[in-house]
Structure 1
Amino acid sequence: MRVVVVGAGYAGTVAANRLARKAKTAEITVINPRPDFVERVRLHEQIAGTGTAATPLTSMLRRRITTRLDTVDKIGDGEVTFGGGSRLDFDYLFLTMGSTVTPLAGTLLVGTWEGAVRARDALAELPRAGMVTVIGGGLTGIETAAEIAFGRPDLQVTLVGRTIAASLSKGAQERVHTGLYRLGVEIIEDSVVHIDGGTERGGADTVCLQSNRQIASDLTLWAVIGSVPGLAGHSGLQVDAEGRATVDEYLRSVTDPRIFVAGDCAAVRGARAACATALPQGVHAADTLAHMVEGRDPIPYSMGYAGQVLSLGRRDGLMQASRRDDTALRLFIGGRTAAVGKERVCRYAKFGARTATYAWLRAPK
């Protein structure tokens, strides 16, 4: 049985390792454009110079798994077509490419490895009192602004977003504001219209806001969650309005049941882009194929959330409790305890991807 895994993020890595453990005769090939497993939950550390987000795939994947460094142009009809035109046959395929980011012109990306490397280099070149603007009021933007302010207290850091920490409870939002203020981060709740100048062209930017306010910025970072790659739709698979592959209750493409989809590129109702989503889906998809090979009936996918965690520098953080449907509860924990909790969550996510051992809550009834 030939199995191809497209993408070596959390979903793809855990799926490949899980299948290697449960389907001993499977020939598994993981296709990834880079030789590293990237912890997207640590990209803000990569940017700020307080940590690293990359680990060689050779230390993340089981030995009998083959790795191919390449880009995929199309999938379907039992074969993968690569960017250079070569092909690879498969009996089953796991589509786990994650999401992509389309930045506003003049900004550097936060949510990709390549963007984080460029942002880190640009940040290191900034002199004292340099001005950094992070665009994006979600958890990615918050963590990026906080990490830079913690790692480079000599810089002026501004966080811009329509609403800061909108996914958290009101009390947790106020705690996030407090944590950012302690680090010296200026918070502006507004929308960015365009940028004059542009970081990539050198010199300072002028960040123009919907309220007609303008911000001077030596380095402007884009920390807004993007869309998914167009591979599924380009390959003829049924996709939703966001381009995510439509799947059945077992995480198989409704167009081609030989193709499993997990992570950000899977259209699963109620799911959000997170390693807490990708890991359960990758495990379940692998288990489903293993059951099918053994002649057992597959089990429908079920997953519920427990909360959200974020760091506010290395010594502060927040843990937000939620219902299983991902709606925030009033309960949250802040401070150093939450920072330790966030670090443990990140380590557990990487441990789960490498060992294919991961537990999660079931969906609410």
Structure 2
Amino acid sequence: MTARILVLGAGYAGLVAAGLTARHRDARVTLVNARDRFVERVRLHQVATGQRIRTRPIAELLDGKPVDFVVGRVTAIDAVERAVELDDGRWLGYDILVYALGSGSNAGAVPGAVEHGYPLATAEDAERLRERLAADGTVAVVGGGLTGIEAAAELGETRPRGTVRLVTAGRLGPALSERGRRHLRSVFARLGVDVREDARVTEVGADGLSLADGEKVPADVVVWAAGFRASTLARDAGFAVDEQGRMVVDSALRSMSHPEVYAIGDAAVLRRPDGQELRMACATALPSARQVARAVGRDLAGREPGPFTFRYVNQCISLGRHDALVQYVRADDRPLELILTGRIAALYKEVIVRGAFAAQRHPAMVVLTPGGGPS
């Protein structure tokens, strides 16, 4: 009997999962995505600054693979009937569901951020920001994580006549080594990016930011890069989720409440065997996609899926087109005092990004992945 495998989301995790799962003889795979083109999310800061980034149709990336591709936005999941509703009213049934809907901006966490902020979570976000940016003026980037760092550096490099401020509630690059943070500060100083650490934003207005200490940070444009959130679909369907709406899964990446459902990428709470929670990143999305394809194959064969094992290798951060930071880390993501910087690091980062994209067409490439891999 052929099992209906329904994959929701064609991001870095979902597209690879669909391609690999379709190799199983007893599986009929359907992939659902809200748009017909693949979004290189790790390049959105480049799109926002006006760089031409080629996009590819998802159907082209699936060429030759036995995957049915459906363009549509998921509006509801019926966990009892095992069916998914799309925005055009269609219902698609499943025997096994792979939930890979990723994450979006959490701008709603702070008053005014939705109305006045420009997130960098989708292709539409990046295009909207690109249309708003001028060659001069002041841009405030909120968030000191990787998205905020990459956006601030790209803005500083491409807008030398403008002012860029990076505002973060904690330290700049909290997951980096001291050497890594020193390099960031030197790059930002060279690019003219003003960094404000330990500055919690309480409100976003049309003219800038309000901080917890009462200070105002003027800005013509606010880029919101202070974290991401998962879709509410899993919670609404009655699946076990965490406080961020991510699906809670077991060691094989199966839903803790619905074993016929798997979740991967940003949409799931992924953990190492020692219990450490993995960060939302392409580095974890690709290996989790490979794991779920293997797990589904064992499931179809009536065998118990094996556990997801993972180790980190490094973090790769672009700092404009001519510099980058490769932060080497221990298996549990703790930083080492070993970094790679400059043009060679920029080249390394570009190779990693291109490799992540190439894996969408050739999913069997996912053995060692950007920043990490199976242990």
Common topology (TM > 0.5) = yes
Aligned to 1:191: 200
Q: 1:254/1:62 Cα in 2 relative to 1: closer, same or farther (>3 Å)?
A: farther
Q: Are the structure 2 counterparts of residues 13 and 102 from structure 1 closer, same or farther at C-alpha, using a change threshold of 3 Å? A: same
Q: 1: CA distance between counterparts of 2:56 and 2:50? A: 16
Contact 1:43 1:53 in 2 (8 A): no
Residue aligned with 2:283, SS = helix
Aligned to 1:271: 278
Q: State the distance in 2 between where 1:113 and 1:303 align.
A: 29
Could you tell me which residue of structure 2 aligns to residue 201 of structure 1?
A: none
1:336 CA displacement:
0.8
Q: Tell me, what secondary structure is at the counterpart of 2:312?
A: coil
Partners of 2:68 and 2:176 lie apart in 1 by 41
CA distance in 2, matches of 1:259, 1:15: 13
Pairwise CA distance, 1:296: 4.3
- Check if 1:82 corresponds to 2:92: no
Q: 2:138, 2:284 → 1: CA distance? A: 35
Aligned-partner Cα distance in 2 for 1:303–1:253 = 19
For the pair 1:70 / 2:86, whether they are aligned, the reply is no
1:27 match:
28
User: How far apart are 1:252 and its partner, in Å?
Assistant: 0.9
2:274 corresponds to: none
Q: Distance between the aligned counterparts of 2:187 and 2:327, measured in 1?
A: 14
Moved more, 337-346 or 23-32: 23-32
User: Which of 112, 117, 124 does residue 122 from structure 2 map onto?
Assistant: 112
Q: Give the direction of change, closer, same or farther, for the CA distance of 1:272–1:117 in structure 2 (3 Å limit).
A: same
How does the TM-score come out when normalised to structure 1? 0.92
How far is the alpha carbon of 1:146 from its aligned partner? 0.7
Instruction: Report the counterpart of residue 221 of structure 1 in structure 2.
Output: 223
Report whether the alignment pairs 1:16 with 2:14.
Answer: no
Indicate conservation of the 8 Å contact 2:8/2:31, yes or no.
yes
Q: Give the whole-Å Cα distance in 1 for the aligned partners of 2:92 and 2:183.
A: 51
Tell me the secondary structure at the aligned position of residue 266 of structure 2.
coil
Q: Distance in 2 between matches of 1:321 and 1:165?
A: 14
Q: Secondary structure at the match of 2:32?
A: strand
Number of the residue aligned with 2:211? 209
Q: What is residue 238 of structure 1 aligned with on the other side?
A: 240
**Structure 2 residue 170 is matched with structure 1 residue 166:** no
Residue 153 of structure 1 aligns to a residue in which SS?
Answer: coil
Deviating above 6 A after TM superposition, structure 1's stretches of 4 or more consecutive aligned residues are: none
Aligned to 1:351: 358
One-letter amino acid of the structure 2 residue matched with residue 37 of structure 1? F
Aligned partner (choices 309, 319, 326) of residue 302 of structure 1: 309
Q: Deviations over 1:80-131 (max 9, x none)?
A: 12234331111111100011113224111112222111001111xx2x4311
Cα RMSD for the two superposed structures: 1.6
- Identify which of 143, 153, 156 aligns with 1:149: 156
CA shift for structure 1 position 25: 4.5
Gap runs ≥5 in structure 2: 108-112, 272-276
Is 1:96 the equivalent of 2:103?
no
Secondary structure of residue in 2 paired with 1:264: helix
Per the alignment, do residues 54 and 114 of structure 1 end up closer, same or farther by CA in structure 2, a change over 3 Å counting? Answer: same
Encode CA deviations 1:134-173: one digit per residue, 9 max, x unaligned: 1111110010011112122222111111221111111101
After superposition, give the CA deviation of every residue in 1:167-206 in whole Å (9 maximum; x if it has no partner). Answer: 111110111111111111111112222123x2xxxxxx13
Answer whether contact 1:263 1:282 (CA < 8 A) is retained. yes
- 2:43 is paired with a residue of what secondary structure? helix
CA, structure 1 residues 240+301, in 2 after alignment: closer, same or farther (shift >3 Å)? Answer: same
Q: Distance in 2 between matches of 1:53 and 1:91?
A: 36
After TM superposition, the score normalised by the length of structure 2 is 0.90
| Contact 1:279–1:353 (CA under 8 A) maintained in structure 2 | no
Among 2, 6, 10, which residue is 2:4 paired with? 2
Query: What percent identity do the matched residue pairs reach?
Result: 36
Q: Distance in 2 between matches of 1:58 and 1:81?
A: 21
Letter in 2 for 1:303: F
The 10-residue stretch of structure 1 (354-363 or 319-328) with the greater mean CA deviation from structure 2: 354-363
Q: CA deviation at 1:295?
A: 4.2
Partner of 2:321: 314
- Cα 1:193–1:113, aligned 2, differ >3 Å: closer, same or farther? same
Q: Provide the secondary structure at the position in 1 that maps to 2:265.
A: coil
